[in-house]
Amino acid sequence: MSVYLDNAASTALVPAALAAMTDAWGRPGNPMSLHDAGRQSRRLLEESRETIAGCVGARPSEVICTSGGTEADNLAVKGIYRARRAADDRRRRLVISAVEHHAVLDPAQWLADHEGAELVILPVDHTGRVDPADLRAELEAHPGQVALISVMWANNEVGTCQPIAELAALAREHDVPMHSDAVAAVGHVPVDYAASGLSAMSLSAHKFGGPQGVGALVLGRDVAAESLAHGGGHERDLRSGTQNVAGVAGMAAALRGAVEAMAANTAAVTALADRLVAGLTAIEGATVNSGDHGLPGLVHVSFAGCQGDSLLMLLDARGVQCSTGSACTAGVASASHVLLAMGMDRAAARGSLRLSLGPDNTAGDVDQALTALGEVLDRARAAGLTGVR
């Protein structure tokens, strides 16, 4: 019997999302068309947008539908940076944290390589948390030069939540827009865009029971951004292309369900995570890296003398599915930049696993994973699958 413990990579589609999408797929009509079928499609799109906005503390007009978190991050990072730079060429500095997902890190680096951005990387402590004092120092040292700040709401590998409201307050104090990749957070911890003080925020449906390939960028009406693609002028002229109405409907249904069940789901996965951590700490050479103030149900652990990829495959062969970190970098033969930024040495970083629980998991799943871990750890060490420098 297989056990799925990789919910941080992608969750199963919930029945409410499937039902909403099935209904939408059965309807004809382009939401931009003026006839009745088009108006019906448009109505469903806008009702879904209203639901999404209500779930994250935004206004419907601030929700821009995208193909997922990566596109939303790129639109925010490139689009806002370019708009700010165009308005004032002195604003060339782009500030991000050292633990960002590659969907933020890579476009930021691209801007540095191709458009003259001055990339500034904020350090983190051993838990992966940004110190607001470091952001304040950057802003005060370079007044009028920072174009954009982007710091993720919660880290997708170790689960650490950032002091978003405090960081956003500093950004506003210095008249700098701030974006947050909230892909790992939305649907799992309380997220209120308006209360946070952010200028922009990204989310992705498949992280909270919605379909893959659909997401949104929440963008303030007063925040200037340049489009990455031009065409029909959809989504405030920032994301041209016929909207994925069925996908957006599924995202709205899943998000509504996730928010309504958040307290119950949090209690359930927290209890399972506590059971998992208790079992892991009894394993010789295991170090749990996820902290008390992170995403519920996400457990990150390092095993001395082991290689994460080898452990992952051995566990998979025993029906336990987990990951070594972000699914977007699976198979990449290098230590996680997130773990290195937290001060972990390369050997420990290479010997790490992420086990992420969902509300459908059970105590039996946890026990099966612990049993399998005990077996594969011995085999991995004995077979000499470790020792990566």
**148 domain-assigned:** yes
Q: Residue 153's pLDDT is what?
A: 98
Do residues 239 and 288 share a domain? no
Do residues 238 and 283 share a domain? no
Do residues 37 and 155 share a domain? yes
Do residues 210 and 84 share a domain? yes
Report whether 206 contacts 174 (CB < 8 A): no
Active site residues: 328
3-state secondary structure of 65: strand
- Whole domain around residue 374: which residue ranges? 3-11+262-382
Q: Residue 335's pLDDT is what?
A: 87
Q: Which of 342, 305, 349, 341 is nearest to 324 (CA)?
A: 349
- What the block records as the tokens of 199 is 């200028």
What is the rounded CA–CA span in Å between residue 49 and residue 43? Answer: 10
Count CA atoms closer than 13 A to 273's CA, side-chain side: 27
Do residues 176 and 250 share a domain? yes
Do residues 192 and 272 share a domain? no
**Which residue stretches of the chain have pLDDT < 70?**
325-333, 382-389
- What the block records as the tokens of 363 is 């105590």
Q: Residue 38's pLDDT is what?
A: 96
Of 202, 227, 259, which marks where a domain is finished? 259
Report whether 218 contacts 63 (CB < 8 A): yes
Do residues 165 and 288 share a domain? no
- What the block records as the tokens of 80 is 């806002």
What is the rounded CA–CA span in Å between residue 290 and residue 339? Answer: 11
**388 domain-assigned:** no
**139 domain-assigned:** yes
Q: Which residue has the tokens 């209500």?
A: 54
CATH number, domain of 213, equals 3.40.640.10
**389 domain-assigned:** no
**Which residues make beta-bridge pairs with 95?**
120, 149
Give residues with Cβ within 8 angstroms of 192, minimum separation 6: 56, 57
Give residues with Cβ within 8 angstroms of 219, minimum separation 6: 62, 64, 76, 199, 200, 225, 236, 238
For the CA atoms of 233, 239, 241, 243, what is the dihedral angle to 10 degrees? -110
Burial class of residue 143 in the structure, from the number of CB atoms within 10 Å of its CB (0-12 exposed, 13-18 middle, 19+ buried): exposed
Q: Which of 149, 126, 255, 253 is nearest to 198 (CA)?
A: 149
**In Å, what is the CA distance from 44 to each residue of 36, 234, 324?**
12, 16, 39
Do residues 216 and 347 share a domain? no
Q: Per-residue pLDDT tens for 262-279?
A: 999 999 999 999 999 999
- Measured between its terminal Cα atoms, the distance across the chain in Å is 35
**236 domain-assigned:** yes
What is the rounded CA–CA span in Å between residue 131 and residue 16? Answer: 40
Do residues 45 and 147 share a domain? yes
Q: Residue 266's pLDDT is what?
A: 98
Q: Residue 1's pLDDT is what?
A: 85
Q: Residue 289's pLDDT is what?
A: 92
**387 domain-assigned:** no
Q: Which residue has the tokens 């639901």?
A: 51
**In Å, what is the CA distance from 217 to each residue of 202, 239, 240?**
5, 10, 14
Of 218, 240, 259, which marks where a domain is finished? 259
Q: Residue 328's pLDDT is what?
A: 54
Count CA atoms closer than 13 A to 45's CA, side-chain side: 25
CATH number, domain of 359, equals 3.90.1150.10
- What the block records as the tokens of 63 is 């929700």
Q: Domains in the chain: how many in total?
A: 2
Of 198, 231, 259, which marks where a domain is finished? 259
**Which residues make beta-bridge pairs with 94?**
119, 148
**309 domain-assigned:** yes
What is the rounded CA–CA span in Å between residue 32 and residue 295? Answer: 39
- In terms of phi and psi (left: phi > 0; alpha: psi -120 to 50; beta: otherwise), the region of 213 is left
Do residues 200 and 345 share a domain? no
**In Å, what is the CA distance from 309 to each residue of 11, 102, 329, 347, 348?**
21, 19, 12, 12, 13
Single pTM value for the model: 0.94
Do residues 141 and 167 share a domain? yes
CA 363 to chain centre: 26
**144 domain-assigned:** yes
Do residues 212 and 119 share a domain? yes
| Position 379, amino acid | R
Q: Which of 200, 191, 195, 196 is nearest to 222 (CA)?
A: 200
